[in-house]
């Protein structure tokens, strides 16, 4: 990045400092987004490049050298290195994520530009649309176009991307931490129609011996798609079912949509009208859009008292025994609005009996075909922030974010213990309140690798409790694809198999043998890895930084930069999933020697692999990954769900040539004690002495762990097993 020129509109810009690594520049009078939690300290400073602010837009371009790489931008299409594409930050409901798309559900305006020797982080705090042309129009230019004149631009400096990410996380605050059961396996489907069907799903998991921590409930549990209602016909014993399953350690997680059905006598609608909680149209009347329930009003989540009011509605669910929710359609998605529908109907009526030319036909067709989520809808309803009125379009990316703040506050208040909360729309800031799923992907191989590539970018934005619809939401999944997807998703903190209405059933047992056995094995392995995954979640919650990092963030060289189908997890593991059809293995790039871990229920094996490129066989039945040199990986034996976790014996894999240590974090899994640092730590340390002897040290405050069994490999590939008893 080169210094180009001084900013043109000095008068409109105020410089500030936030921490040693973070400085920023305020242009105009930005909307408060509450993304950044630290105070600005205004001072003199100059921007090292020019930002044009004119005609309702802010714009800057930076030169990219051939070597520069661009990382971040959250849940987006494209590679890990974002170069060569355009992106837009504007939360959008788009269920077809093919290569032409530029905008998905999240708006995450943090990216890092790295050249041969310097990396710089950029964060644009602005709630409207931002366009990024990352070396697309001109290969050697990145252009950012902000659709407003009022924004904060942050620059984050540091010695490495990892440091920059940590410094960024310091200013945006700590992330949402799910309860431990949130890291289990979840089954979902749109739609399990009745409580019998849900019961049957549970029974099948049980009889098939497949672990399960919960079942997501889609729209069908509601009456007429009304938020906080229950279908008396399909779910007459909702509370009983919820409680019975919970006794088995299986939670139900219902969906809540952003739109509130317009219906007289419906309590949420009536209260919303009385309390003036709905967003208004230009005439000051509640804006009418149509989503699943038909006509709806949208709660104005940008208003504090509306958030409190809506958040309190979740009590209806917590009173029934619900401990987790998913917030959907909160971009907000709009099927049509009254004006657009009327225009379509009028055009159709006018066309009646006419001989339509091709252009007239297409124009008529478009009135119905492209009626969903039209840009103009978001200019037809308004929010008021600190006395100023904005179109939704101007503050669009705050909507789903604040619906989720509302849910989070309500659930926290009414549960007194941790809950699971995921949202579809997202913006940075929301990471403090919930996790997310990546929206309506498809049962495509390309979306399996997209899932992998999104993980580090989501972590960069502060989101850790994340995952994609395993198996793919839309489209027809093949058994092979589901099993391959599980081989990846067993590592993602949110592990949920979800699929759309009308698609091929995709529960892990919905396939023929041997796939069912393989799927069962994959899910059990997730539970074996759970102590480690949970420990890593507690660590990133506390310290920020990345749980998933591209190889390029850790190793030098072009091979590391280009290995976008491999990923580091924590400081210990390297994943190398198979993301293509008809493969029996794949080539893996090893930046240093590692232990190949073949993870099996009966016997976990370690094999030494030298640095370089190697072909690894990887069957559908396997779970394989790599353990880095001088690192330890704790694991345990599988259980039916998190409530049955048994840590009396902890197992540890190690590739130790000189010395390795790991501190396993754990806690009660459900209280907020972790916020005050209440946790159990188990320090594991292995040293290999000159003569090859091993010394092992285990210090633990964990109330359960009694025995630790180490399987340790050295540089020559020899394995030794050691058992350590912890004095009580």
Beta carbon nearer to ligand MIG, 377 or 473: 473
255 in contact with ligand MIG (CB under 6 A): yes
The answer to whether the beta carbons of residues 381 and 280 sit under 8 Å apart is: yes
Region 655-684 residues binding ligand MIG, contact defined as CB under 6 A: none
Q: How far is the CB of 256 from ligand MIG (least distance, A)?
A: 10
Write each residue from 155 to 184 as x if it is in contact with ligand MIG (CB under 6 A), else as -, in one continuous string: ------------------------------
Which two tokens mark 481? 């694809």
Beta carbon nearer to ligand MIG, 249 or 493: 493
How many residues would you count in the chain? 728
Q: How far is the CB of 253 from ligand MIG (least distance, A)?
A: 12
Beta bridge partners of 87: 132
Write each residue from 289 to 328 as x if it is in contact with ligand MIG (CB under 6 A), else as -, in one continuous string: ---------------------------------------x
Sign of CA dihedral 439, 548, 452, 635: negative
Beta carbon nearer to ligand MIG, 182 or 254: 254
Q: How far is the CB of 105 from ligand MIG (least distance, A)?
A: 8
Beta carbon nearer to ligand MIG, 129 or 498: 498
Region 388-427 residues binding ligand MIG, contact defined as CB under 6 A: 424
Beta carbon nearer to ligand MIG, 497 or 682: 497
Region 324-363 residues binding ligand MIG, contact defined as CB under 6 A: 328-329
Q: How far is the CB of 254 from ligand MIG (least distance, A)?
A: 11
CA distance 581 to 285: 53
Q: How far is the CB of 184 from ligand MIG (least distance, A)?
A: 19
Straight-line distance from the first to the last Cα atom of the chain, in angstroms, rounded to the nearest whole number: 57
Q: How far is the CB of 76 from ligand MIG (least distance, A)?
A: 17
Q: Which residues contact 306 (CB under 8 A, 6 or more apart)?
A: 275, 277, 299, 300, 406
Region 431-470 residues binding ligand MIG, contact defined as CB under 6 A: 439-440
Q: Which residues contact 503 (CB under 8 A, 6 or more apart)?
A: 443, 473, 474, 475, 476, 477
The answer to whether the beta carbons of residues 115 and 65 sit under 8 Å apart is: yes
Applying CB under 6 A, among 126, 190, 518, 655 the residue interacting with ligand MIG is 190
Beta carbon nearer to ligand MIG, 26 or 503: 503
Using CB under 6 A, count the residues that bind ligand MIG.
11
Q: How far is the CB of 474 from ligand MIG (least distance, A)?
A: 9
Q: How far is the CB of 229 from ligand MIG (least distance, A)?
A: 15
Applying CB under 6 A, among 152, 218, 323, 536 the residue interacting with ligand MIG is 218
213 in contact with ligand MIG (CB under 6 A): no
Beta carbon nearer to ligand MIG, 255 or 317: 255
Q: How far is the CB of 100 from ligand MIG (least distance, A)?
A: 20
Cis, bond preceding 460 (omega within 30 deg of 0): no
Beta carbon nearer to ligand MIG, 1 or 219: 219
Write each residue from 614 to 653 as x if it is in contact with ligand MIG (CB under 6 A), else as -, in one continuous string: ----------------------------------------
Beta carbon nearer to ligand MIG, 219 or 420: 219
CA distance 580 to 447: 10
CA distance 388 to 403: 20
Phi-psi region of 34 (alpha: psi -120 to 50; beta: other; left: phi over 0): left
Residue 676 buriedness (CB in 10 A; 0-12 / 13-18 / 19+): exposed
The answer to whether the beta carbons of residues 632 and 661 sit under 8 Å apart is: yes
Beta carbon nearer to ligand MIG, 96 or 118: 96
Instruction: Name the phi and psi angles at 552, rounded to 5.
Output: -65, -20
Beta carbon nearer to ligand MIG, 227 or 440: 440
Applying CB under 6 A, among 18, 219, 430, 477 the residue interacting with ligand MIG is 219
Beta carbon nearer to ligand MIG, 170 or 328: 328
Q: Where are the alpha helices (DSSP H) in 182-313?
A: 195-207, 238-247, 267-274, 304-313
Q: How far is the CB of 341 from ligand MIG (least distance, A)?
A: 17
Beta carbon nearer to ligand MIG, 251 or 498: 498
Beta carbon nearer to ligand MIG, 318 or 499: 499
Q: Which residues contact 435 (CB under 8 A, 6 or more apart)?
A: 176, 178, 182, 420, 421, 422, 423, 463, 464, 465, 466, 493, 494
The answer to whether the beta carbons of residues 490 and 623 sit under 8 Å apart is: yes
State the helix-helix crossing angle for 358-369 and 338-351, rounded to 10 degrees.
150
Region 39-68 residues binding ligand MIG, contact defined as CB under 6 A: none
State the residue for tokens 């490049």: 49
In the three-class reduction of DSSP (H, G, I as helix; E, B as strand; rest coil), residue 254 is classed as strand
What is the number of alpha carbons within 13 Å of residue 477 lying toward its C-beta? 33
Q: Which residues contact 548 (CB under 8 A, 6 or more apart)?
A: 455, 456, 459, 567, 568, 569
User: Taking CB positions, which residue lies at the least distance from ligand MIG?
Assistant: 190
Q: How far is the CB of 291 from ligand MIG (least distance, A)?
A: 8
Region 493-512 residues binding ligand MIG, contact defined as CB under 6 A: 498
The answer to whether the beta carbons of residues 128 and 109 sit under 8 Å apart is: no
Q: How far is the CB of 335 from ligand MIG (least distance, A)?
A: 8
CA distance 453 to 442: 15
CA distance 594 to 488: 19
CA distance 129 to 458: 19
125 in contact with ligand MIG (CB under 6 A): no
Binding residues (CB under 6 A) for ligand MIG: these are 190, 218-219, 255, 328-329, 424, 439-440, 473, 498
């Amino acid at each position: 990045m080169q210094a180009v020129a001084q900013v043109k509109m000095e008068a409109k810009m105020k410089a500030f400092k936030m921490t040693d690594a973070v400085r920023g520049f305020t242009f105009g009078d930005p909307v408060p987004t509450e993304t950044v939690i630290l105070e600005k300290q205004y001072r003199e400073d100059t921007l090292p490049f020019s930002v044009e602010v004119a005609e309702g837009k802010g714009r800057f371009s930076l030169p990219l050298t051939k070597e520069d790489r661009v990382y971040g931008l959250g849940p987006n299409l494209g590679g890990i290195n974002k170069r060569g594409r355009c992106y837009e930050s504007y939360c959008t409901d788009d269920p077809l994520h093919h290569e032409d798309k530029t905008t998905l559900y999240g708006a995450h305006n943090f990216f890092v530009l790295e050249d041969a020797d310097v990396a710089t982080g950029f964060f644009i705090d602005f709630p409207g649309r931002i366009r990024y042309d990352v070396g697309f129009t001109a290969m050697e230019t990145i252009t950012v176009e902000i659709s407003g004149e009022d924004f904060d631009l942050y620059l984050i400096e540091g010695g490495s991307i990892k440091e920059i990410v940590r410094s960024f996380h310091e200013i945006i605050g700590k992330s949402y931490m799910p309860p431990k059961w949130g890291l289990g396996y979840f089954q979902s489907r749109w739609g399990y129609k009745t409580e019998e069907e849900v019961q049957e799903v549970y029974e099948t998991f049980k009889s098939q011996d497949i672990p399960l921590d919960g079942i997501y409930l889609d729209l069908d549990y509601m009456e007429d798609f009304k938020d906080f209602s229950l279908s008396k016909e399909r779910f007459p014993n909702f509370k009983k079912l919820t409680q019975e399953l919970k006794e088995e350690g299986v939670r139900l997680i219902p969906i809540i949509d952003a739109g509130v059905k317009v219906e007289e006598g419906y309590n949420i609608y009536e209260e919303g009208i009385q309390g003036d909680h709905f967003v208004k149209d230009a005439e000051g009347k509640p804006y009418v859009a149509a989503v699943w329930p038909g006509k709806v009003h949208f709660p104005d989540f940008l208003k504090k008292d509306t958030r409190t009011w809506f958040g309190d509605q979740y009590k209806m669910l917590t009173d029934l025994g619900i401990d987790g929710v998913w917030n959907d359609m909160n971009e907000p998605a709009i099927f049509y609005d009254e004006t657009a529908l009327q225009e379509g109907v009028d055009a159709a009526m006018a066309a009646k009996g006419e001989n339509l030319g091709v252009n007239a036909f297409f124009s008529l067709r478009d009135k119905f075909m492209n009626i969903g989520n039209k840009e103009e809808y978001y200019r037809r309803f308004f929010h008021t922030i600190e006395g100023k009125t904005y179109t939704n379009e101007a503050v669009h990316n705050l909507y789903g974010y604040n619906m989720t703040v509302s849910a989070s506050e309500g659930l926290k208040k009414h549960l007194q213990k941790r809950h699971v909360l995921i949202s579809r729309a997202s913006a940075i800031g929301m990471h403090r309140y919930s996790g997310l799923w990546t929206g309506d992907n498809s049962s495509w191989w390309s979306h399996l690798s997209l899932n992998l590539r999104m993980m580090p970018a989501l972590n960069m934005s502060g989101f850790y409790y994340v995952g994609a619809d395993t198996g793919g939401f839309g489209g027809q999944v093949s058994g092979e694809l589901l099993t391959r997807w599980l081989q990846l998703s067993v590592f993602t903190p949110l592990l949920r198999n979800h699929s759309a209405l009308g698609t091929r059933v995709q529960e892990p047992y919905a396939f023929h043998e041997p796939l069912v056995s393989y799927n069962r094995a994959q899910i059990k392995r997730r539970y074996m890895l759970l102590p480690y995954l949970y420990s890593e979640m507690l660590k990133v919650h506390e310290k920020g930084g990345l749980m998933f990092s591209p190889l390029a963030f850790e190793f030098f060289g072009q091979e590391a930069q280009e290995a976008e189908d491999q990923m580091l997890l924590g400081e210990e593991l390297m994943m190398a999933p198979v993301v293509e059809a008809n493969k029996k293995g794949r080539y893996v790039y090893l930046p240093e020697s590692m232990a190949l871990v073949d993870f099996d229920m009966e016997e976990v094996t370690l094999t030494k692999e030298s640095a370089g490129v190697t072909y690894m066989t990887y069957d559908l039945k396997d779970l394989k990954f790599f353990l880095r040199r001088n690192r330890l990986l704790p694991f345990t034996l599988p259980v039916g769900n998190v409530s049955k976790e048994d840590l009396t014996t902890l197992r540890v894999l190690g590739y130790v040539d000189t010395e390795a240590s790991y501190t396993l974090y754990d806690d009660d899994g459900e209280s907020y004690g972790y916020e005050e640092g209440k946790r159990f730590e188990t320090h594991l340390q292995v040293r290999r002495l000159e003569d090859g002897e091993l010394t092992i040290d285990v210090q633990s405050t964990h109330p359960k762990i009694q025995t630790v069994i180490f399987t340790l490999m050295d540089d020559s590939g020899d394995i030794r097993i050691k058992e350590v008893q912890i004095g009580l």
